[in-house]
Amino acid sequence: MSNKQFDVVVIGAGPGGYIAAIRAAQLGFSVACVDEWSNEKGGPAPGGTCTNVGCIPSKALLQSSEHYEHAGHSFKEHGIDVSGLSLNLGQMVKRKDTVVKQNNDGILFLFKKNKVTFFHGRAAFAGAASADGYPIAISGKAPETINAKQVIVATGSNARALPGADFDEKLILSNTGALAIDAVPAKLGVIGAGVIGLEMGSVWRRLGSEVTVLEGLPTFLGAVDEQIAKEANKLFTKQGLKISLGCKINAVTKGADNVTVEYNDAKGEAVTAVFDKLIVSIGRTPNTNGLGADKAGLALDERGFVAVDADCKTNLPNVWAIGDVVRGPMLAHKAEEEGVAVAERIAGQHGHTNFDTIPWVIYTSPEIAWVGRTEQQLKADGTPYKAGTFPFLANGRARALGDTSGMVKFLAHAETDEILGVHIIGPMASELISEAVVAMEFKASAEDIARICHAHPSLSEATKEAALAIDKRTLNF
């Protein structure tokens, strides 16, 4: 019996893979998508890291924990007295799991709707390409081999462990364990003050943990605009996150029900800290386990990522790779954009991912969002620029919401006024940043934004005012 033949086989159904599969199907190709993620019943759970143990469950817990914190601390100011407030962590986690399942099911529905054939199992290159294309072996409940004229590798990433401190997801937690803690730890340690450390640290702090974050670098959020990072550090510290920079971790030792971390602090002093649980969030590594890269001759780079060019082409003809398993920011929307672009290139179109306008969001409270260049980058490369900021303290909607922390900051070219970067720390920064992304895609000037009518009262007026601030003509500050 000959193998099933597909125009396009996508390996991995995370945000990169499932979106690539759908776009390829829309373009008229016969498409299969293979993903090995299983739910607790052993059934398929497409959506990858993002849906199962990343973006979606973390945002569900961030939302729930924020409600809890507001009910305990902010409602009173609004004239709402809450008595008998208590935490039902089991229900909170159950709701998070329901949200995840809705997303898994949604993707299976989308595959059906778009006539993408889904295989639940692990896919591996079974050899080099023949006239039938690449043989892809699928292991799982129903093993079989299929042939692919074009292959899109979208196998994602895994959490990086500290040497000598493997994840057991009970005491030493990756993102997977951090999203499934069954009782609020009194003392929670976090190694790495990056995106996961701050988001998960915020969740558990709001629910009652004393959270200590140990960061290796001497600077806080080095990729973020310095002014915004400084403000964030101040606000998070005020909320109760204990953030220590410049820490050198020497040893992590598990006890029966706690974890001891020995480290040197920024002054070089030896510190021993004991935590009930420890989250290790020090970055992620590309996932090429069991992919059979060597069987097909697929080249990896020196860091283990699938090596690709700017168009996501690998060293093999008709094999592409996208998302976390290739260079670039590890973000779901970056993976999606690459997925669409690759499907369109396979169809002979000119799909393109603009790396200069990929937004970043950290879903803490306040949220941090940015697009484009930071002030320190502009200084370093000698670009002449003007900066304008506007604080939410002076925004009517923020006052009505009772959430006035933070600011919007614009950076524009000193001569052309083109927007070079927009940085926001404040309420709904994740939504506000879209305007800046659109503006930058259209090569807008700061004055373009300053002249556009923004609804009143809205947080977006702070964006307009920050654009006005470039020419020192804010109206409300």
Residues that bind ligand FAD (CB under 6 A): 11-17, 34-37, 48-50, 54-55, 58, 122-124, 154-157, 175, 196, 287, 290-291, 323-325, 330-333, 335, 363
Please identify, using beta-carbon distances, which residue of 252 and 330 lies nearer to ligand FAD: 330
Q: Which does 193 bind (CB under 5 to 8 A by kind): ligand NAI, ligand FAD, none?
A: ligand NAI
Stretch that binds ligand NAI, among 125-133, 134-142, 196-204, 269-277 (CB under 6 A): 196-204
Residue 439 interacts, among ligand NAI, ligand FAD, none and using kind-specific CB cut-offs from 5 to 8 Å, with none
Q: Which two tokens stand for residue 314?
A: 């690998």
The answer to whether 96 contacts ligand NAI (rule: CB under 6 A) is: no
Given 44, 135, 185, 194, the residue binding ligand NAI (CB under 6 A): 194
What's the token pair of residue 227?
């002014």
Residue 362 binds which entry of ligand FAD, ligand NAI, none, with Cβ cut-offs from 5 to 8 Å by kind? ligand NAI
Instruction: Report the chain's C-alpha Rg in angstroms.
Output: 24
CB 408 within 8 A of CB 424: yes
Are residues 89 and 260 in contact, defined by beta-carbon separation less than 8 angstroms?
A: no
Q: Could you tell me which of 355, 296, 336 has the C-alpha nearest to residue 21?
A: 336
CB 215 within 8 A of CB 236: no
- Tokens (6 digits) for 294: 């060597």
224-283 binders of ligand NAI (CB under 6 A): 247, 249, 281-283
* Contact pick of 80, 82, 186, 217 for ligand NAI (by CB under 6 A): 217
- Could you give the CA distance from residue 20 to residue 336 in angstroms, rounded to a whole number? 7
Which of ligand NAI, ligand FAD, none binds 192 (CB below 5-8 Å, type-dependent)?
ligand NAI
- Report what 337 binds from ligand FAD, ligand NAI, none; CB cut-off 5-8 Å by kind: none
Rounded distance, CA 154 to CA 159, Å?
16
Tell me which of ligand FAD, ligand NAI, none is bound by residue 155, counting a contact when its beta carbon lies within the kind-specific cut-off of 5 to 8 angstroms: ligand FAD
Residue ranges in 214-271 assigned as alpha helix (H): 226-239
Q: 34 with 126: CB under 8 angstroms?
A: no
423 is known as an active-site residue = no
Our CA angle for 349, 354, 358, nearest 5°, is 135
Q: Return the residue of 12, 15, 48, 197 that touches ligand NAI, per CB under 6 A.
A: 197
Q: Cβ contacts of residue 378 below 8 Å, gap of 6+?
A: 385, 411, 420, 421
Q: Does residue 323 touch ligand NAI according to CB under 6 A?
A: no
Q: In the complex, which residue's CB is closest to ligand NAI?
A: 194
* Residue 239: strand, helix, or coil: helix
Residue 192 lies near ligand NAI (rule: CB under 6 A): yes
Q: Which is nearer to ligand FAD, 328 or 391 (CB)?
A: 328
Kindly tell me which residue out of 37, 363, 390, 392 binds ligand NAI, with binding defined by CB under 6 A: 363
CA distance linking residue 182 with residue 169, whole number of Å: 11
Closest CA to 252 of 172, 177, 176, 169: 172
Choose which of 191, 261, 279, 424 interacts with ligand NAI (CB under 6 A): 191
| Residues at the contact surface with ligand NAI, assessed by CB under 6 A | 162, 191-197, 199, 214-217, 247, 249, 281-284, 329-331, 361-363
Task: Give me the active site residues, please.
Answer: 456
